[in-house]
Chain A
Amino acid sequence: MLLEVKNLKSYFFLDEGILKAVDDVSFAISEQETVALVGESGCGKTIVALSLLDLIPSPGRIVEGQMLFRGEDLRAMNAERMRQIRGRHIGLVFQEPGVALNPVYTVGHQIAAVLRLHRALTRREAQAESVRLLGDVGIGDPEQRAKAYPFELSGGMQQRVLIATAIAGRPELLIADEPTTALDPTVQAEILDLLRYLQTEYSMALLLITHDLGVVAEMADRVMVMYTGKILEAADIDTLFRDPRHPYTQGLLESAPRLGVGRGEVLRGIPGTVPDFLELPSGCTFHPRCNLAEDECTRAFPPLEEIAPGRQCACYKVT
């Protein structure tokens, strides 16, 4: 197992109260596997990623849980070892390439910085390698582009550059946080192709964080559905799309437009809105929006239970 997360809890301690952004999340990723973490905006997906790299901004912190990367406890590491993990073993691709790249350095310089940090290359070697990486992420004329500043590149190219910095250390796990959200649909497809290509080429596992079910269907081996900081359902991709069990997952799938839907058929949304993290409903946080909800659901959050081999669901109504 490449990564094992057990009972992770990351809370933000605000003046208004404790915001449980990640509340008792457990999952695992094996080598070279693609796992998608799906959920609406603000459900805590990104905080899961930041927890792994110990990058949660204050006033947030990891309260509890265990994160084993190749058996090594990420939480027990000293700062020095953590810095080796970042970039060298776990790469992170941010959502907005335009702001994640530093505007005052050339893109070649920014890739070379990672190389020099993690791979003990000389300045010249790092330069050559960064040009090679730019070619690898599909940037034409990489030799010249390496001398360009981020603002001289299009959004798609910036995302490619950002991906190049994330894979420069040859990590075993690449976390892509909404890698295509800020991009045009045509460019999105290219970036997804690129991620898939790089995953095989560099034999990486991929943790894909997204709210876009289309992206999930195209990329993932396994899917985890997240809602208000908790995982509601996890299954492999085919099972989940064919036979969603949790009412929330069913609602998500029904509300997504897809080919084959009859003309004039109305897309059904999930009633209600995502609750405020500071005023979560009691019991199952989804119960106010759920048409199956009963008394039981308002009392305690249902545990995430194995309902079939390889698939889990957190719902009293699903067995």
Chain B
Amino acid sequence: MARSESRVRLAPWLAIVPGVGHLALARRVKGAHLLAYAAGAVALMIWRSERIAEALGSRAIDEWLAVVFLIGSLLAVASYSLWDVRRLLEGGDGPLAGKSPWRVASRRFRVNILAVGSVYVIFLLYVLAILAPLITLQDPSTMENVLETRYLSPSLAHPFGTDEFGRDLFSRALYGARVSLSIGLLAMLLSKVIGTSYGAIAAYFGGIVDSVLMRLVDVVIAFPTFYLMLMLVGVFEANIVLLVLILGLTSWPGTARYIRGEILSLREQEFAESARAIGLPPRLVIVRHLIPSALSPVLVSAALSVAGMIGAEASLSFLGLGIRPPTPSWGNMVSGGQDALLVAWWVAFFPGALLALTLVSFSLLADGLRDALDPKTLMRRFV
């Protein structure tokens, strides 16, 4: 400890490098993570500097966004690191600082190895997907000398091999990840935001408004979602926006029902009454006191629902009703590879494996969140 303190004094400029300050202050885990991310980002910038320059000049918004994300996240990590080190040097949180419910939960989450592992996997997949243009060496849809390049088995040049048109599958898998992962995340967000506000509104107004809104929920639940999807993608050209809308707009009733019920029961509790007794308008009682108390199960179901959304998108695409080739998505890549399964197993294998990995990770994440957020599992080995 004495040594590390002197190191801070000797070279304060080193704290500019993200994580170094934390390492010096014996916050090893946080320091290592910050440092690792920064090192990875810088390494990628050096390795693909030409590609980055090219991407900045290109008209394609997704390439431009990848560069912005890379640089922006590096800056964010660096400034967070500086801010946090300064906070630690000023004495941190103090001895009596509260154990906020989130901090308690995160401590309980971190002992769950599977859940933590799934967070790394999910994080890595999302970063790879966003940075796909900077990481892949080949364009996902370029076809050259098809006869020579088709069905090449995995090698250094093509880590996942090539498909029947000689396209690089690694590159297609990463670009496919962008489609699958963003649909999963956005559809989940849409569904949870609609569900939460809808349920809260029904509970807030109560009476006849509540009855009408909840009967509407019954209608949406009774609707055969899958056939609705089939019909809509039949009528309209399927694209990411349409899939997000369809998946998001059909899956919110569960959340709405849960939130409504929870708010109706929470508002009878004394802390809600005391919030009213200090003169808080009912709208704010719900937003500030009731929704936050009801939210942790929604968080768990959100993690599960991302997996569900990604699975649904993959099924649709597999059936040829979702994202259409040549735009890659994991679903249509598996579907494209099934005919060649005996000659080139890798075509369907890699996207399928990534899909499975993602779904399992989100399930494990949901599991871990549930254990960490549920006070009933508390107090055994964590405290």
Contacts and interface: CB of A to CB of B under 8 A. Distances in A.
Contacts of A88: 279
B94 interface: yes
Given A87-B277, A94-B273, A144-B94, 16 more contacts: A84-B279, A86-B277, A91-B278, A96-B270, A99-B269, A100-B270, A103-B271, A103-B293, A104-B292, A113-B280, A113-B288, A114-B279, A144-B97, A147-B96, A147-B97, A169-B278
A92 interface: yes
Given A100-B274, A101-B274, A83 B292 contact: no
B224 interface: no
A291 interface: no
Given A86-B278, A87-B277, A102 B99 contact: no
Contacts of A144: 94-97
Contacts of B274: 92, 94, 100-101, 162, 165
Q: Which 10 A-B pairs have the closest CB atoms?
A: A144-B96, A87-B279, A87-B278, A86-B279, A100-B274, A83-B279, A92-B277, A99-B270, A102-B271, A149-B98
A102 B293 contact: yes
A181 B227 CA distance: 60
B96 A86 contact: no
Contacts of B289: 102
A166 B279 CA distance: 11
Given A99-B271, A145-B96, A149-B100, A104 B278 contact: no
Interface string B286-302: 00110011000000000
Interface string B60-97: 00000000000000000000000000000000011111
Contact of A83 (B98, B269, B281): B281
Interface in B226-284: 268-271, 273-281
Interface size class of chain A, counting residues whose CB lies under 8 Å from the partner chain: 35 or more
B9 to A, nearest CB: 28
Nearest to B276: A55
A103 B278 CA distance: 17
Contacts of B269: 99
Nearest to A118: B279
Contact of B275 (A57, A102, A166): A102
A205 to B, nearest CB: 17
Interface in A136-162: 141, 144-145, 147-149, 152, 162
A57 B269 CA distance: 11
Contacts of B278: 86-87, 91, 113-114, 117-118, 165-166, 168-169
B362 to A, nearest CB: 26
Contacts of B271: 99-103
Contacts of B100: 106, 149
B12 interface: no
A204 interface: no
B101 interface: yes
Nearest to A149: B98
Contacts of B275: 102
A118 B277 CA distance: 12
Nearest to B268: A57
A61 B281 CA distance: 19
Contact of A148 (B96, B276, B277, B292): B96
Contact of A94 (B93, B97, B270, B292): B270
Contacts of B293: 102-104
Contacts of A87: 277-280
A85 interface: yes
Contacts of B94: 144, 147
Interface in A49-71: 53, 55, 57
Contacts of B99: 149, 152
A312 to B, nearest CB: 29
A152 B280 contact: no
Nearest to A84: B279
A88 B278 CA distance: 7
Contacts of B95: 144
Contacts of A147: 93-94, 96-98
